[in-house]
Amino acid sequence: DTGVSQDPRHKITKRGQNVTFRCDPISEHNRLYWYRQTLGQGPEFLTYFQNEAQLEKSRLLSDRFSAERPKGSFSTLEIQRTEQGDSAMYLCASSLAWGPDEQFFGPGTRLTVL
């Protein structure tokens, strides 16, 4: 068990470009989450998958954001036409079951939009 992994760890892009991040959850975990964390703030929920189904989305997830988990394993988060306000740490987490079960977080992808 290697934990939740995210790729890339850092991404610098120019405004208007598209970016895609990948998250690999812990292998047996069927739930996967994306959060965004800006400087000085706690993480904010973006979206959640159970297997391949996207079951919950935040209003923060504008039309420029899309997330997929096509085979119920890894997930991708794409941001189209990036804006400077998209600069943040994008965190992925996974968990095994419902209720108080722990969400295990990955190291995050830090996005800087110039």
Partner 1 sequence: AQTVTQSQPEMSVQEAETVTLSCTYDTSESDYYLFWYKQPPSRQMILVIRQEAYKQQNATENRFSVNFQKAAKSFSLKISDSQLGDAAMYFCAYRSARSEKLVFGKGTKLTVNP
Does 44 help bind partner 1 (rule: CB under 8 A)? yes
Told to check if 85 binds partner 1 by CB under 8 A, we report: no
In whole angstroms, how far apart are CA 110 and each of 11, 12, 51, 97?
Answer: 6, 8, 25, 28
Q: Which of residues 2-31 bind partner 1 (CB under 8 A)?
A: 3-4, 31
Q: Are strands 31-37 and 19-24 parallel, antiparallel or unpaired?
A: unpaired
Does the footprint of partner 1 cover residue 99 (CB under 8 A)?
yes
34 contacts partner 1 (rule: CB under 8 A): no
- Give the number of C-alpha atoms closer than 13 A to the C-alpha of residue 104, restricted to the C-beta side: 19
51 near partner 1, judged by CB under 8 A:
no
H-assigned helices in the chain: none
For partner 1, how many residues bind (rule: CB under 8 A)? 25
CA distance 114 to 110: 13
Residue ranges binding partner 1 (CB under 8 A):
3-4, 31, 33, 35, 40-45, 48, 55-56, 58, 91, 99-100, 102-108
